[in-house]
């Protein structure tokens, strides 16, 4: 049987999730993939509203517009399955600070 997580516990756990930040200036059209991930992004707390987290970072997301160094990578900045799912997108915008 699966335990139900309270809203308070869910909020607490979401506050510990690491957000994806640009390690360097990334141009529009750049693809986030395993070969260059270490030089492109880093994971850090806090997670910003609308920012993808380590849970959404897959492989092959393409940036739709430039992201400056040390700025959060937002769900609207990537071409990803998550960006086209309104329910998931809403959850991503509702969490974080």
What are the structural domain ranges in the chain?
18-94
| Residue 24, pLDDT score | 98
- Is the model's pLDDT at 1 over the cut of 80? no
Fold classified for 18-94: Type Iii Antifreeze Protein Isoform Hplc 12 (3.90.1210)
Model confidence, pTM = 0.86
Q: What pLDDT is stored for residue 10 in this prediction? A: 78
End-to-end CA distance of the chain: 32
Complete edge-to-edge strand list for the sheet that includes strand 78-79: 31-32, 61-63, 78-79
Local confidence band at 83 (pLDDT 50, 70, 90 cut-offs): confident
Q: Once rounded to an integer, what is the mean pLDDT over residues 35-56? A: 93
Within 13 Å of residue 64, how many CA atoms lie on the same side as its CB? 9
């Amino acid at each position: 049987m699966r335990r139900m997580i309270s809203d308070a516990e869910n909020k607490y756990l979401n506050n510990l999730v690491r957000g994806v930040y640009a390690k360097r200036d990334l141009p529009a059209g750049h693809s986030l993939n395993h070969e260059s991930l270490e030089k492109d992004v880093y994971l850090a707390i806090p997670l910003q509203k609308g920012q993808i987290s380590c849970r959404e970072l897959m492989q092959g997301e393409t940036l739709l517009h430039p992201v400056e160094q040390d700025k959060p990578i937002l769900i609207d900045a990537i071409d990803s399955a998550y960006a086209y799912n309104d329910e998931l997108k809403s959850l991503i915008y509702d969490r974080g600070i």
